Amino acid sequence: MSLPPEKASELKQLIHQQLSKMDVHGRIREILAETIREELAPDQQQLSTEDLIKALRRRGIIDDVMKELNFVTDNVDQELPSSPKQPVCFTDRQSTLLKKTNIDPTRRYLYLQVLGGKAFLEHLQEPEPLPGQVCSTFTLCLHFRNQRFRSKPVPCACEPDFHDGFLLEVHRESLGDGTRMADSTTMLSISDPIHMVLIKTDIFGETTLVASYFLEWRSVLGSENGVTNLTVELMGVGTESKVAVGILNIKLEMYPALNQTLSQEVVNTQLALERQKTAEKERLFLVYAKQWWREYLQIRPSHSSRLVKIFAQDENGINRPVCSYVKPLRAGRLLDTPRQAARFVNVLGYERAPVIGGGGKQEQWCTLLAFLCRNKGDCEDHANLLCSLLLGYGLEAFVCVGTKAKGVPHAWVMTCGTDGTITFWESLTGHRYIHKSTNPDEPPVAEQPKPLYPYRTVGCVFNHQMFLGNCQPSDSVEVCVFDLNDESKWKPMSEEAIKSVCAPGATTSLPPFPPLCASTIDASVTSNEIEMQLRLLVSEHRKDLGLTTVWEDQLSYLLSPALASYEFERTTSISAGNEEFQDAIRRAVPDGHTFKGFPIHFVYRNARRAFATCLRSPFCEEIICCRGDQVNVPLRSNCLGVSGISLGYTGRLCSLKDSEQLSQHVQSMKHEVHLFCKNDK
């Protein structure tokens, strides 16, 4: 297929620039002179083209050129978003597991190289890991204009050995410019920063958010030759957001090189104007929010004690309107239904923001990229993500801020049906509750609906366009009426005011929402590894008790339908396939034996930790430690939906089953372990 003339010329320019960068012409001249001196016979007047090509090939020049002209991607570290546009990652030639990928010569790319880190003083005394030794690692995650990347893990050290490159496509999808190569002026108007998140993973697989940084990349537009080097100081998160945790050396380079670079003064002026415009919008919104709050307190002085949250601090300690944490988010083909989305969010780990010392809960609402990369967060992070996904499915969804039992602050999601049905979604468990308000004026003998949800009070509800404060006489969820159009019950904020600071592109300080990505972990391989680890743990534990272990594969296989049925029920609230499982177990269990089950789930892949949790249950310990004259132990690992753990007990056989599914975004997992044993009566 031939290229259009303008594309062919741009491709030639790319190749010429790369050859000039490698000084290929100089190397060819050196080899030509050397070849003439060493190989040309006295009676021979000239070298043939074939002789010269052989000499270049023999010295590896041709191979070097071909390697340098191939943009490659690391098939382990690249995250594939659900959008049709798939970014590419450009890595060093020395990297292993590389594969070629095509690039569009008509597009503009920003090549970001991470050239190492330094001054990570927390790891100053960290010993250098021995070959093959398991150690804590750093991983750098990036997001830029719907493209996500992840570096290779490197051992934690005072000077971590980051050496990764990422090829970021710089495109503009509006006004018909999507197929045109972006020039300097166009790129100067693209205000999206590069969001960088540094994650630490310890030897047990636990992740910690180390730093979150927004890189302003447009300084490269005013640099000579379109290349610039930056020193990025990473600050801590939460209570440590004012403390530096380390420094990254970064190099930015435009591909292909800019035909015309901007002056640094023009770039600085543009950035200053954007900051000034953002600051003015945020100031005006703050003035409006204060006025709204005064009016809200005038309705009823007791409103001052309600959880009406207008602003929330992110991981960098920056106060942002809560509406900016929510945005309609489409999962592509990764999640097919709202209930699958609820199940996905529920399997992400729950962890409160760490607090140094006492004093109660630490305030920290994470940006979506930090939440997904860390793979765990607080209830507000779960609720914001679930609300965004439900909005993407076309539902009228809101985040509710209130309390649970004993006045513990909590956040959950609410959807309003077209028929007036109010449904609560608990993002930490995936459970759904239908809300029916009680009438406090009814006589005591009147039958009132009994709430099944755990929520006690609600102070406000919000999404990406609306914010409403609860101004009903009581903030108890039981008696609240969720007619959000009734301003006597819910005081709204101006939608225009919210849009001025929370709409996409309204301010440069808003972090762009990243896409969800398919898991990079092979579920089958990981399940097999966990199965082998659990087998070893069970065998060792029984051996310590003086018991032998004989593995039974057939019964393990029969347990698979149960796991699939459990997962299907957790996702859809519909039970299916239980009859076939029961029939198969009845056939497999001999007469005079008993079968019992015990469910539990995990949100981690640590087999030893899962096994220790199982042993803390007396019933589970009884199954694992069962005795009999003929004891067989089956163990099976299946990749299902998201999973949990179940234990079963039946007579002469004992089985442990672990099932795991990696959820389709962000490598979140739950394991279903089934322990079954048969004992004589």
DSSP letters, 561-590, are HHHHHHHHHHHHS---SHHHHHHHHHHHSP
At residue 605 the predicted structure's pLDDT band, cuts being 50, 70 and 90, is confident
Would you state the pLDDT for residue 630?
63
DSSP state of 598: E
Give the mean pLDDT of 124-149.
Answer: 86
CA distance 383 to 375: 14
pLDDT at 50 over 50: yes
CA distance 404 to 411: 9
Would you state the pLDDT for residue 443?
65
For the stretch 263-270, contacts whose Cβ atoms lie closer than 8 Å and that sit 24 or more positions apart, written own/partner, are 263/222, 264/219, 264/222, 264/223, 265/222, 266/188, 266/222, 267/188, 267/218, 267/219, 267/221, 267/222, 268/222, 270/188, 270/189, 270/218
Would you state the pLDDT for residue 261?
83
At residue 493 the predicted structure's pLDDT band, cuts being 50, 70 and 90, is very high
At residue 104 the predicted structure's pLDDT band, cuts being 50, 70 and 90, is confident
Model confidence pLDDT, tens digit, residues 169-213: 987 565 445 557 888 888 899 999 999 999 999 988 889 999 999
Model confidence pLDDT, tens digit, residues 410-428: 999 999 999 999 999 999 9
Model confidence pLDDT, tens digit, residues 499-553: 999 988 888 888 889 999 888 778 788 878 887 888 889 889 888 988 888 777 7
At residue 101 the predicted structure's pLDDT band, cuts being 50, 70 and 90, is low
Q: What token pair was written down for 124?
A: 């100053």
Model confidence pLDDT, tens digit, residues 459-484: 999 999 999 999 999 999 999 999 99
Let me know the angle formed at the C-alpha of 573 by 571 and 574, rounded to the nearest 5 degrees.
Answer: 110
Nearest alpha carbon to residue 161 among 191, 140, 185 = 140
User: Which stretch of 40-44, 225-229, 288-292, 606-610 has the lowest confidence by average pLDDT?
Assistant: 40-44
pTM of the model: 0.78
Would you state the pLDDT for residue 530?
82
Could you give the percent of the chain with pLDDT greater than 70?
A: 74
Model confidence pLDDT, tens digit, residues 567-594: 777 777 787 777 888 888 888 877 777 7
DSSP state of 131: T
Q: For residue 400, which amino acid is it?
A: C
Would you state the pLDDT for residue 182?
81
Q: What token pair was written down for 647?
A: 């234990």
